[in-house]
């Protein structure tokens, strides 16, 4: 219930006020907002737009060109009709709109409710893309419609925010804007300025928090967006730097454990390894075991390109710890990856108990495992974030290893280390980060790099084909499989209903299995399957009982099946460079020649350039540099850029100067 009296009494901080008290929200919409991670009013106000639309200017219909760009105009509706178009599948609403200068046709798909609204007469505001239709000429496609009433004008006549609202059916952009406007009106003064007491000149140049909140949601100009973003990026980096500082101070006490490198577990590990370490792996091991054997807890980031053999190095450190009578916890981002490491550990540590703690482990079996973790016995436990639940207590924990750390939030990463304050910590990543940046981001970590791939790797050949060549691709897959190899085919979506005109994993799996490769074992794995199902399919693929694995990006990180030599990426235009690189990293892991085949018909210039870069560069560092250049610095109407970490608004790569400033201020604030 909306009750201002109650609200006033309850609290004075936006962080303590539930979002349901915002005008226009209420209990049921607040559940939808919770799915976006928005619980308090502060969460809402800090839910920033990912781009903006410039709707400051109105056009006359006469001025509108069929040039595929967006126009905003006021118009009356002359006529509306509804018909069924395109094989009876799509409901089409068509309207003739006019102002004093000209008229134009607009169409909407599957939005029958508009008929009633538009036929009530009067003037509306429209905002949409205009293209050339073969039959109707100039045409506006699915424009947003607003009744010309004052209270609706939040979405018009200004620079308008666009929010990321994944999976939201009830919450439209227009509604979100209205809610945001209401929240700012009522609560902006209750947002405390966390930079208030920080005395640096950098901070004095930033917008105050209230002004910045208004400007980031409802900017008065392009420059204002820039200034507002700068404030919040700075704020985010500042808080992060403070967190790292506190962390570092807390961890500068000596640990009360000693390890022996010469031990039984290390010996048997070395003798069960099917290969020799590379020079780079040896160097990494010697650098890191020195840390382990010293008095201070180890804090290390191990960075190495996809396939460089980080796991084997991490297991060597684990062997030192296990053989000295302590436990080792290994945290990975996905169940599939946990299973893979679990199997390796069973093989490589025959004399040590190895456990898998997954979120599917429940009831009695989970309790039994927790009991073992609380005992004195040395063991290795591998798991996902299930490892950081509060009731998981690991007694005698010596070493924590975190794989693919960029997949975890800063908090998750730290939570595991907090289970034992002086624990040795190794985090691993394939995300190439320039050294100076890494030092700033992981201020509490030393860095080790593996800069060499294991020998005998065949360079992966990358090919780009258009979809009309798909039959030749299928023939090629058949040849590879006849030679005993295996293949992945990755799709951007799980199922077709999600988005039109895109091939999707489930439907293509049916087609491939029954029509294209009826004589070959085809499997499917995607994010909506249960963990048990995923594991069953992956096991069959590891064992070579499935030849072609249809998948979504669940297989993107860490999967290691050396016999797989073909990676087909359908709709490659839908993937970013680092995802493509991770996908390509799944092959070329054995001694067989491997092929990455991207299928894309895109004619978008930027996308073609991105795929071009992907074809030409194999090395993760070069790719990420090229990626930066392609995406350029933050743009006004552009997409949000994802950096190598999970910051909310800042991108440590493109906003590096701000990161440095924030760190300097945090250093000063901490000393005071
Ligand atoms: P990543 O660094 O991407 O995590 P992995 O640890 O998964 O790489 O290793 C990739 C593959 O290379 C695995 O199959 C692993 O067993 C193998 N491997 C690791 N080190 C060596 C080595 N020194 N010689 C040969 N193969 C190796
Ligand atoms: Mg790995």
Mean pLDDT of the chain: 86
Which residues face 96 on adjacent strands? 79, 105
> What is the pairing mode between strands 461-465 and 595-599?
parallel
Instruction: Show the tokens assigned to 295.
Output: 């008095």
The contacts of residue 543 (CB under 8 Å, 6+ apart) are none
Instruction: Show the tokens assigned to 576.
Output: 């970013």
Burial 407-440 (b: 16+ CB within 10 A, else e): bbebebbbbbbebbebbbbbbbbbbbbbeebbeb
Instruction: Show the tokens assigned to 548.
Output: 């072609």
Length of the chain: 672
Confidence tier at 610 by pLDDT (50, 70, 90)? confident
**pLDDT at position 422, please?**
84
Which residues face 355 on adjacent strands? 381
Strands (E), 414-563: 424-429, 446-450, 461-465, 486-490, 522-525, 548-551
Say whether pLDDT at 162 is over 70: yes
**Ligand 1, from 281, 302, 303, 311: best to mutate by most atoms within 8 Å of Cβ?**
311
Q: How far apart are CA 669 and CA 195, in angstroms?
A: 10
The string of pLDDT tens digits covering residues 532-553 is: 898 899 999 999 999 999 999 8
Confidence tier at 632 by pLDDT (50, 70, 90)? very low
Q: Give the residue-averaged pLDDT of 265-287.
A: 94
CA of 590 to the centre of ligand 1 (A): 9
**Domain 264-450 CATH (choose: 3.40.50.1860, 3.40.50.300, 3.90.550.10, 3.40.1350.10):** 3.40.50.300
Q: Give the residue-averaged pLDDT of 353-364.
A: 90
Residue holding tokens 């993760």?
A: 620
**pLDDT at position 119, please?**
87
Extents of the domains making up the chain: 57-157, 264-450, 460-634
Q: Give the residue-averaged pLDDT of 409-413.
A: 63
**Ligand 1, from 276, 283, 307, 555: best to mutate by most atoms within 8 Å of Cβ?**
307
The contacts of residue 426 (CB under 8 Å, 6+ apart) are 288, 298, 300, 302, 314, 317, 399, 400, 401, 402
* Predicted model pTM: 0.66
Say whether pLDDT at 13 is over 60: yes
> 3-state DSSP call for residue 450?
strand
231 CB-side CA count, 13 A: 24
First to last CA, the chain: 45
The string of pLDDT tens digits covering residues 499-534 is: 567 788 999 999 999 999 999 999 999 988 888 898
Strands (E), 424-512: 424-429, 446-450, 461-465, 486-490
427-to-242, 330, 407, 604 alpha-carbon distances in Å? 20, 10, 11, 38
* Contact (CB, 8 A) for 162 and 52: yes
* Burial of residue 293, with CB atoms counted within 10 A of its CB: 0-12 exposed, 13-18 middle, 19 or more buried: middle
Instruction: Show the tokens assigned to 292.
Output: 């382990």
The string of pLDDT tens digits covering residues 206-224 is: 999 999 999 999 999 999 9
Say whether pLDDT at 8 is over 80: no
Backbone angles phi, psi at 533, to 5 degrees: -60, -45
Q: How large is the C-alpha radius of gyration of the chain?
A: 28
**pLDDT at position 43, please?**
93
CATH level 3 topology of 57-157: OB fold (Dihydrolipoamide Acetyltransferase, E2P) (2.40.50)
The contacts of residue 361 (CB under 8 Å, 6+ apart) are 369, 386
Q: Are 57-157 and 460-634 the same fold in CATH?
A: no
Q: How far apart are CA 270 and CA 621, in angstroms?
A: 31
**pLDDT at position 26, please?**
86
Q: Whose CA is nearest to atom 18 of ligand 1?
A: 309
Q: How far apart are CA 38 and CA 459, in angstroms?
A: 46
* Ligand 1 cavity residues, CB under 6 Å: 275-278, 281, 304, 306-312, 430, 454, 558, 560, 562, 589
CA of 209 to the centre of ligand 2 (A): 41
Instruction: For domain 460-634, give the CATH superfamily.
Output: P-loop containing nucleotide triphosphate hydrolases (3.40.50.300)
Q: How far apart are CA 339 and CA 8, in angstroms?
A: 51
Shortest-distance ligand to the CA of residue 589: 1
Say whether pLDDT at 642 is over 50: no
Instruction: Show the tokens assigned to 222.
Output: 């392009």
CA of 310 to the centre of ligand 1 (A): 7
**pLDDT at position 417, please?**
64
């Amino acid at each position: 219930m909306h009750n201002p009296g109650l609200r006033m009494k309850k609290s004075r901080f936006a962080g303590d006020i539930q979002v349901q008290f915002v005008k226009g929200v209420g209990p049921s919409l607040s559940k939808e907002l919770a799915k976006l991670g928005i619980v308090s009013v502060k969460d809402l106000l800090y839910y920033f737009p990912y781009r903006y639309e410039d709707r400051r200017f109105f056009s006359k219909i006469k001025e509108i060109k069929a040039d595929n760009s967006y126009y905003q105009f006021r118009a009356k509706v002359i006529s509306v009709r509804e018909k069924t178009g395109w094989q009876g599948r799509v409901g089409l609403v068509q309207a003739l709109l006019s102002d004093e200068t000209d008229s134009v046709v607009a169409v909407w798909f599957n939005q029958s409710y508009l008929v009633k609204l538009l036929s009530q007469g009067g003037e509306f505001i429209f905002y949409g893309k205009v293209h050339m239709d073969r039959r109707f000429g100039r045409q506006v496609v699915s424009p947003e419609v607003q009744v010309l009433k004052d209270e609706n004008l939040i979405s018009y006549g200004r620079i308008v925010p666009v929010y990321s609202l994944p999976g939201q059916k009830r919450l439209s952009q227009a509604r979100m804007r209205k809610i945001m406007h209401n929240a700012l009106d009522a609560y902006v003064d209750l947002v405390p300025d966390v930079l208030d007491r920080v005395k640096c000149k950098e901070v004095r140049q930033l917008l105050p928090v209230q002004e910045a909140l208004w400007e980031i949601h409802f900017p008065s100009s392009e420059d204002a967006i820039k200034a507002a973003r700068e404030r919040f990026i700075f704020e985010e980096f500042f808080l992060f730097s403070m967190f790292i500082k506190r962390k570092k101070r807390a961890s500068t006490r000596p640990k009360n454990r000693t390890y022996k490198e010469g031990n039984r577990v290390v010996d048997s590990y070395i003798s069960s390894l099917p290969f020799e370490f590379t020079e780079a792996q040896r160097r990494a091991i010697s650098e890191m075991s020195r840390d382990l054997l010293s008095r201070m807890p180890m804090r290390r980031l191990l960075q190495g390109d996809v396939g460089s053999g980080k796991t084997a190095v991490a297991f060597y450190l684990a062997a030192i710890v296990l053989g000295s009578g302590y436990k080792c916890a290994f945290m990975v981002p996905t169940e599939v990856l946990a299973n893979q490491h679990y199997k390796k550990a069973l093989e490589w540590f025959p004399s040590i108990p190895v456990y898998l703690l997954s979120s599917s482990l429940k009831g009695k079996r989970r309790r039994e495992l927790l009991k073992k973790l609380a005992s004195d016995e040395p063991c290795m436990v591998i798991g996902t974030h299930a490892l950081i639940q509060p009731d998981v207590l690991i007694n005698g924990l010596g070493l924590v290893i975190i794989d693919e750390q960029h997949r975890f939030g800063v908090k998750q990463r730290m939570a595991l280390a907090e289970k034992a304050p002086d624990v040795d910590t190794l985090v691993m990543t394939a995300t190439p980060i320039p050294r100076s940046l890494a030092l700033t981001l992981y201020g509490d970590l030393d860095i080790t790099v593996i800069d060499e791939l294991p020998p005998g790797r065949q360079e992966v050949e990358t090919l780009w084909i258009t979809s009309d060549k798909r039959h030749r691709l299928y023939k090629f897959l058949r040849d590879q499989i006849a030679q005993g190899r295996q293949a992945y085919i990755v799709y951007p979506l799980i199922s077709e209903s999600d988005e039109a005109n895109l091939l999707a994993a489930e439907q293509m799996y049916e087609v491939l299995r029954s029509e294209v490769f009826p004589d070959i074992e085809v499997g499917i794995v995607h994010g909506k399957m249960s963990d048990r199902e995923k594991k069953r399919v992956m096991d069959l693929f590891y064992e070579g009982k499935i030849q072609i694995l249809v998948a979504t990006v669940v297989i993107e990180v860490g999967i290691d099946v050396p016999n797989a030599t073909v990676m087909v990426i359908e709709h490659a235009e839908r993937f970013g460079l680092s995802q493509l690189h991770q996908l390509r990293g799944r092959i070329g892991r054995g001694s067989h020649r491997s092929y990455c085949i991207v299928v894309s018909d895109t004619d978008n210039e930027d996308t073609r350039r991105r795929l071009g870069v992907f074809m030409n560069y194999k090395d993760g560092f070069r790719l990420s540099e090229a990626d930066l250049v392609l995406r350029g610095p933050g743009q006004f109407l552009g997409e949000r850029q994802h950096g190598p970490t999970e910051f909310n608004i800042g991108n440590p790569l493109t906003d590096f100067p701000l990161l440095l400033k924030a760190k300097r201020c945090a250093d000063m604030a901490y000393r005071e």
